Amino acid sequence: MITAEALQQNLAHCTGTEQWHQHPLGITYTDGIKILAEDAQCHWLIDAIASHQKSYQIIYNPDLQQFQLWLLTVNEDKSAVLACYEDSPSTCELVITQLIPMTDFILPEIKLYLEQGTLLLPSEH
């Protein structure tokens, strides 16, 4: 598995996308997300975010259909919390939260955006 430093270096080069990748649950994602999923072996993270797109919190909120901020925070015991916000966590309430009992995700935290059905890294925005 890749180191956290190498992953961060690889993701730092992601400032746009050349290809759009289709997820079976209906969202698309960028090259940066593909690199993240392959390098960190975290396809489950894309699956988790995609699976929440049919939740009532998102379906009935037009603002969330346009933009979502997803934050994965890994705890010291290797459990994690995946949280969705309408905007910045400092200015908006938590919309969705998913507890993850165990993960080997190598970064302590990662922020992703889902904008108009496309999952992307903040640097690709």
**Phi–psi pair at 22, nearest 5 degrees:** -95, 130
pLDDT digits 0-9 by tens, 51-98: 999 999 999 999 999 999 999 999 999 999 999 999 877 788 899 999
CATH assignment at residue 31: 3.10.450.150
Instruction: Give 3-state DSSP helix, strand, coil % of the chain, rounded to 5.
Output: 35, 30, 40
More reliable by pLDDT, 81 or 2: 81
Q: How far apart are CA 27 and CA 13, in angstroms?
A: 23
- Sorted by sequence, the CB contacts under 8 Å of residue 77 that are 6+ apart come out as none
Full-model pTM: 0.94
Sole residue written with tokens 């992953």: 7
User: How many domains does the chain contain in total?
Assistant: 1
Domain span at residue 77? 4-124
Q: How far apart are CA 23 and CA 51, in angstroms?
A: 10
